[in-house]
Structure 1
Amino acid sequence: MLVLGISGLDKSASVKREMLPGLDWREQRLVQGLDSAAALVSEDGVLAASAQERHDGDKGTGAFPADAVEACLRMAGVTLDDVDFVAHGFRYERSPAFARDAFARRWFDEVYDPRVQREVLRAYRPDQDWERKFVPVRHHLAHAASAYHLSGFRDATVLVADGMGETESTSVLTGDGPDLRFARTYPVSASLGILYSVVTQYLGFLPGMDEYKVMGLAPYGDAARFADVAEHLVRRTAGGRLAVPVLAHDKSPTERETHRGAIRRLEELFGPARHPEAPVESRHMDVAATLQRRLEESLLDVLRTARAEDGAASRDLCMAGGVALNCTANGAIARSGLFDRVFVQPAAGDDGTALGAALWQLRRHVPAPPTAMTMPYWGEEFGPADLDAALGALGPGHRVRRLPEEELTREVSSLIRGGRVVAWFQGRMEFGPRALGNRSILADPTAPGMRAHLNTVVKQREEFRPFAPAVLAEQAHTYFEVDPAREAMYRHMLFTAQVRPEWRAELPSVTHVDGSARVQTVDRSSAPLFWRLIRRVGDDSGIPMVVNTSFNLRGQPIVRTPGEAVATFARSTLDALALGDRLVTRVEDAGTGAVGHG
């Protein structure tokens, strides 16, 4: 059986612009149904998956993922006629909530109604029987399925936390064999995801996109400064419930669409909102720290309640939803002792609901227990002709060499050890927001100035943001407080761990201000070429580790094609590009641009 999953709500952004013209660019992002993607699954597993933003260049787009669908079909060597079902990661139903005002009615009639999704599909391919093929899937069920069915756990507690599904913002489910069942849900009025996005907006960042900036900013702050008002963000209530009082200040339809009421309340609690171009002050750091602590405490409360009151007996936990991309909170949950194993599906945001909707529909018809995924290398791969065509567009001033693998890894290791920054484009593209060694920028974690260089010169982003270390799996425990028995948990760069104190001074470019790092362990069997490169770096430097960040520049999705890789390299300050077995360097003074070791 072939099932195609899709995510996104094609008309969401345009309907909001029509209903509320004149919104600022950040308020326009406050819509349901962004991060559209496609995924194709069968009894053999995940065949292909791709986010639409990687095709059209519109970061976080919610447009119908036509290009991603075509790419998935092409990768699998099938056509849409071969597909049995197309599953969508939303299942809205008409309810009294959609009759309360003109805004709500229009949202349902023009965006949420499954009829609208069928119309979009008919416009895309009018030759298909969409009444039979199209299957809407409840949003949190799609999130849950994306994690549980790829966990390899026989049974599990499943936590889904995001901005909102159809009517819920946080859900606890139980997985048993092929089955998933809801145990508890929390309403949208108690949304931890919306709260985090609103505070992201208050701090001058882009909601629905820049929450990871707030997460990175939080360790610089002091959560104790605002401890007396923290309950205005999240408050525990009877029966293990949560309340988010700030959201109650959105009174009118316009305020519910923009959260201006909540922003005003945040200004009453914490002072004026930060302008996007204003400096980041200590107060902003303290707000971020307060929010992050409250999020972690709230998620742990939800999970303790699940174990104590909802009968969640499994000691294995799966997580999905946008909040599950908060690596610091994930690390706190992993260290809590509540669960023996924790698995976060790497495309935990709404792009992952394409995958989850497809898996849920597949398992309805072909029941099977969960299987353990390895790396999400489910995107496109390109051949020698594609690489050569892309390199043909390079202008003068570049040297291109085709190298055997051993020589390529030796040369790249030498560049990294010499303080250079290397773009690494190999194999199939990753699915999800993390570059996991196939579309990456790599550098030396021991170079004292490397973090600042990458942030300000290469990636052109805020100086406070941390970078992740990619380390050989078998040696991760040497440098980080990672239990070797739980090493696999860190392979998708979704948990923080503490850098061991004796190594913090040696690893300045990956050690955050609080001593943490967002670790990626690299396993020989699941990422063999990346593993061999890091091993070579270890042979040359004594530390088998690299800085690993995504191959893109500010505002750009991660590169997908060789052409994008070459064009991005050409307009960047990157020192070298490893494009398959081709190594591209700039014909400049060899002493220019290197970041030394101090």
Structure 2
Amino acid sequence: MQILGISAYYHDSAAALIRDGIVVAAAQEERFTRKKQDSRFPRAAVRFCLEAAMHSPIDHVVFFDKPFLKFERILETYLSFAPKGFATFRAGLPVWAKEKLFQRSLLMKELDELAPGRFPSDSLLFSEHHLSHAASAFYPSPFDEAVVLTMDGVGEWATTSVAIGNGSKLRVIRELLFPHSLGLLYSAFTSYAGFRVNSGEYKLMGLAPYGEPRFSGVIREHLVDVKDDGSFRLNQRYFNYCTGLSMTNARFHALFGRPPRPPESPIEDFHADVAASIQQVTEDIVLRMTRALAKETGQKNLCLAGGVALNCVANGKIAADGAFEKVWVQPAAGDAGGAIGAALAAYHLHTKAARQICHPDAMNACALGPEFSPEEVEAALATAGARFTVVSNEALFDETAVALAAGEVVGWFQGRMEFGPRALGNRSILGDPRRTDMQKKLNLKIKFRESFRPFAPSVLAEAAADWFDVSATHSPYMQTVTTVAEKRRTISAQHAASHHGLKDQYLVRSVIPAVTHTDFSARVQTVCAKENLRYHMLLKAFEKLTGCPVLINTSFNVRNEPIVCTPAEAFACFMATDMDRLVVGNAVLRKVEQDSALAFDYSSRFALD
């Protein structure tokens, strides 16, 4: 049985194909259209999944939420706040009505244009938003039983939900409803700090360790009332997202004594303190939730999904807390992952199919997107005007390791494109974490982004515990933050604590300074040979040469560009940045050998995030 899952029309549209309960293909639309977080119907991603179906029947198509319920929430929200926001409501009503009330016909029209006659109208199903998230977290997990916690901005009505998974069964037992939303609370501070909602939350999280949480009390006193079990209510007097076009209002700004930071303006200690404060409050809320759920249910395992589950710092606190013995986070925890969850929910809950548990999980290391044969790679590079050499595997890994150890920045393009927000060694930019200048170089010369943003380390799974404070050596998706092992640090905790502000961001804190954040934290990816053989072989070659089993791994793109999908896009990004070397499969390109006329700055194509 094959089921196609679709998420669309909010942000980060995607499509996924499952075959007999196993995810075989998944991709975000942005990777094909080159429009970051493309929200349109995922035409190209669906086409990719249909190709993966190999002309076999598609038994069901499942949309990741219920549009009519979402429209009901929009309508009731505006009526409850009337007459406030009436102008916005009146302007948006025709669009909402078209998109929500007639979405079945819109979806069928799109599908029929892609594959005429392939999808009968009765093949289209609708899942609920939080059920899709919960299914994306539980069914691919390695657990037979688990509590599933979903936290995001808002689905139809739910903003936080709790489900219990058991075998092939999944049942939502509790929900917190809009407008009380942890995701929207965090996004309000993202907007206030001058970052873009739905993409700048990573920046706020990365900025937090540079600040002091001196506004935590203000947030708890005025903005959010938190109970012992983690349930909460937001004081809507300080927010504008229910009826307006902004997240916060003048009362919110007065509470903190400043207007919102204009985008791209200087970041000050004040903004770091705001970030630290909301991060602390967020961690407190989720820890209260998880501790209460563990005590209430007696379950040993926890699964996480929804946009808040992309807060890897909070995830790390949950894992370290120990209320649950094991924690598994859906790597595509945001709305893109809803495409997988919708398909899996239909397979197990609608068709009543049995579940097959996979170890370490059923996400195939997120290598679910397009891949390119050696012939396709060479043809694409030749067409682009690239000058390259094809080398053997034996030479490839050793030569790349030598280049990295010499300080080169390497674009690394291998195998199937990853699904989700992280590059995991297939569409990555790599560097030597031991170099004190590498973090700054990557941020300013390669990614064209803010200098304070940290980079994640990839480490050989078998060496992870020797370099990082990890409770388990399996963390393949960069979904939790831990700390650099004390024996790898070069300054004391006391020294670091007194020098953690923005002015001290380049202070060398460990023997791998380029992946050590100001508080010694690191968003670790462990790499196993079974899950990513070629990346593992490169790390082994680098370890053999340097004694260090760690590399910097950041996504293969410039700021606000989607991660590259094709060899041609990889070459364009390579030529537009200060990358020194590009490796696509076994094709090796050195910058000094390229035609300089092909170099151009295309970063201006992409709206700043």
- Scaled by the length of structure 2, what TM-score is found? 0.87
Q: 1:526 aligns with which of 516, 527, 531?
A: 531
What residue number does 1:22 align with?
A: none
Change (3 A) 1:459 1:346: same
User: Which one-letter code corresponds to 1:8 in the other structure?
Assistant: A
Distance 1:251 1:556 in 2: 29
Distance 1:123 1:578 in 2: 37
Distance 2:60 2:219 in 1: 49
| Cα displacement string for residues 56-113 of structure 1 (whole angstroms, at most 9, x for unaligned residues) | 011001100010000112133236xx10111111114354762554738556522233
User: Which one-letter code corresponds to 2:582 in the other structure?
Assistant: L
Moved over 6 A (4+): none
User: Which one-letter code corresponds to 2:581 in the other structure?
Assistant: A
Counterparts of 1:229-268 in structure 2, within 5 Å, are 229-237=219-227, 240-245=230-235, 247-250=236-239, 254-255=243-244, 257-261=245-249, 264-268=251-255
Q: 2:106 aligns with which of 87, 103, 119?
A: 119
**What secondary structure, in the 3-state scheme, does the structure 1 residue paired with 2:133 have?**
helix
User: Which one-letter code corresponds to 1:116 in the other structure?
Assistant: Q
What residue number does 1:586 align with?
A: 591
Counterparts of 1:53-68 in structure 2, within 5 Å, are 53-68=30-45
Alpha-carbon RMSD: 2.0
Say whether 1:451 aligns with 2:451: no
| Cα displacement string for residues 103-142 of structure 1 (whole angstroms, at most 9, x for unaligned residues) | 38556522233x3243233144163555301111000000
Distance 1:452 1:238 in 2: 42
Change (3 A) 1:487 1:266: farther
User: Which one-letter code corresponds to 2:52 in the other structure?
Assistant: M
Change (3 A) 1:84 1:252: closer
Structure 1 stretch 445-454 or stretch 118-127: which is displaced more?
118-127
**What secondary structure, in the 3-state scheme, does the structure 2 residue paired with 1:62 have?**
coil
Change (3 A) 1:494 1:539: same
What residue number does 1:400 align with?
A: 388
Distance 1:578 1:251 in 2: 47
**What secondary structure, in the 3-state scheme, does the structure 2 residue paired with 1:487 have?**
coil
Counterparts of 1:470-489 in structure 2, within 5 Å, are 470-483=458-471, 486-488=472-474
Distance 1:252 1:56 in 2: 29
Structure 1 position 572, deviation (Å): 1.5
Structure 1 position 202, deviation (Å): 0.8
Structure 1 stretch 269-278 or stretch 198-207: which is displaced more?
269-278
Answer yes or no: is the 8 Å Cα contact 1:75–1:380 preserved in 2.
Answer: no
User: Which one-letter code corresponds to 1:538 in the other structure?
Assistant: E
Structure 1 position 380, deviation (Å): 0.6
What residue number does 1:277 align with?
A: 264
Change (3 A) 1:141 1:96: closer
| Cα displacement string for residues 431-485 of structure 1 (whole angstroms, at most 9, x for unaligned residues) | 00100000000000000010000001111000000000000001100010012xx
Say whether 1:47 aligns with 2:24: yes
Structure 1 position 587, deviation (Å): 2.5
Say whether 1:577 aligns with 2:582: yes
| Cα displacement string for residues 233-265 of structure 1 (whole angstroms, at most 9, x for unaligned residues) | 4321477520122x443469642x42343x641
| Cα displacement string for residues 319-365 of structure 1 (whole angstroms, at most 9, x for unaligned residues) | 01111011100000001111111101111110000010001111121
Answer yes or no: is the 8 Å Cα contact 1:40–1:48 preserved in 2.
Answer: yes
**What secondary structure, in the 3-state scheme, does the structure 2 residue paired with 1:222 have?**
coil
Say whether 1:89 aligns with 2:44: no
Answer yes or no: is the 8 Å Cα contact 1:480–1:499 preserved in 2.
Answer: yes
User: Which one-letter code corresponds to 1:190 in the other structure?
Assistant: H
| Cα displacement string for residues 155-196 of structure 1 (whole angstroms, at most 9, x for unaligned residues) | 001010010111010111110111111122111222010111
Distance 1:480 1:239 in 2: 31
Say whether 1:301 aligns with 2:291: no
Runs of 5+ unmatched residues, structure 2:
80-85, 490-509, 595-609
User: Which one-letter code corresponds to 1:532 in the other structure?
Assistant: M
Say whether 1:491 aligns with 2:451: no
Runs of 5+ unmatched residues, structure 1:
10-32, 590-598
Q: 1:152 aligns with which of 142, 146, 150?
A: 142
Answer yes or no: is the 8 Å Cα contact 2:142–2:357 preserved in 1.
Answer: yes
What residue number does 1:28 align with?
A: none
Change (3 A) 1:226 1:314: closer
Distance 2:142 2:219 in 1: 42
Structure 1 position 394, deviation (Å): 4.4
User: Which one-letter code corresponds to 2:392 in the other structure?
Assistant: P
Distance 2:292 2:257 in 1: 30
Distance 1:526 1:536 in 2: 17
Structure 1 position 422, deviation (Å): 0.2
Q: 2:203 aligns with which of 206, 213, 235?
A: 213
Distance 2:412 2:451 in 1: 23
What residue number does 2:430 align with?
A: 442
**What secondary structure, in the 3-state scheme, does the structure 2 residue paired with 1:553 have?**
coil
**What secondary structure, in the 3-state scheme, does the structure 2 residue paired with 1:509 have?**
helix
**What secondary structure, in the 3-state scheme, does the structure 2 residue paired with 1:74 have?**
helix
User: Which one-letter code corresponds to 1:118 in the other structure?
Assistant: S
What residue number does 2:449 align with?
A: 461
**What secondary structure, in the 3-state scheme, does the structure 1 residue paired with 2:366 have?**
coil
User: Which one-letter code corresponds to 2:288 in the other structure?
Assistant: D
Say whether 1:75 aligns with 2:45: no
Distance 2:170 2:417 in 1: 30
Distance 1:78 1:352 in 2: 24
User: Which one-letter code corresponds to 2:473 in the other structure?
Assistant: E
Distance 1:162 1:577 in 2: 37
User: Which one-letter code corresponds to 2:180 in the other structure?
Assistant: A
Q: 1:172 aligns with which of 162, 165, 171?
A: 162
Change (3 A) 1:312 1:105: farther
Answer yes or no: is the 8 Å Cα contact 2:230–2:287 preserved in 1.
Answer: no
Distance 2:241 2:184 in 1: 17
Answer yes or no: is the 8 Å Cα contact 1:154–1:369 preserved in 2.
Answer: no
Answer yes or no: is the 8 Å Cα contact 2:163–2:170 preserved in 1.
Answer: yes
Structure 1 stretch 50-59 or stretch 564-573: which is displaced more?
564-573
Say whether 1:560 aligns with 2:565: yes
Change (3 A) 1:238 1:444: closer
Say whether 1:378 aligns with 2:394: no
Distance 1:528 1:209 in 2: 31
Distance 2:73 2:208 in 1: 39
Distance 1:169 1:210 in 2: 19
Distance 1:128 1:267 in 2: 57
| Cα displacement string for residues 393-413 of structure 1 (whole angstroms, at most 9, x for unaligned residues) | 444xx6511111110001110
- State the identity %: 39
Answer yes or no: is the 8 Å Cα contact 1:399–1:587 preserved in 2.
Answer: no
Change (3 A) 1:300 1:401: same
Answer yes or no: is the 8 Å Cα contact 1:89–1:138 preserved in 2.
Answer: yes
- Scaled by the length of structure 1, what TM-score is found? 0.89
What residue number does 2:597 align with?
A: none
Say whether 1:351 aligns with 2:336: yes
Answer yes or no: is the 8 Å Cα contact 2:63–2:126 preserved in 1.
Answer: yes
Structure 1 stretch 43-52 or stretch 513-522: which is displaced more?
43-52
Change (3 A) 1:240 1:412: closer
Answer yes or no: is the 8 Å Cα contact 2:188–2:248 preserved in 1.
Answer: no
Change (3 A) 1:266 1:443: same
Answer yes or no: is the 8 Å Cα contact 1:390–1:563 preserved in 2.
Answer: yes
Answer yes or no: is the 8 Å Cα contact 2:21–2:344 preserved in 1.
Answer: no
**What secondary structure, in the 3-state scheme, does the structure 2 residue paired with 1:587 have?**
helix
Distance 1:189 1:252 in 2: 9
Answer yes or no: is the 8 Å Cα contact 2:455–2:552 preserved in 1.
Answer: yes
**What secondary structure, in the 3-state scheme, does the structure 1 residue paired with 2:379 have?**
helix
User: Which one-letter code corresponds to 1:330 in the other structure?
Assistant: N
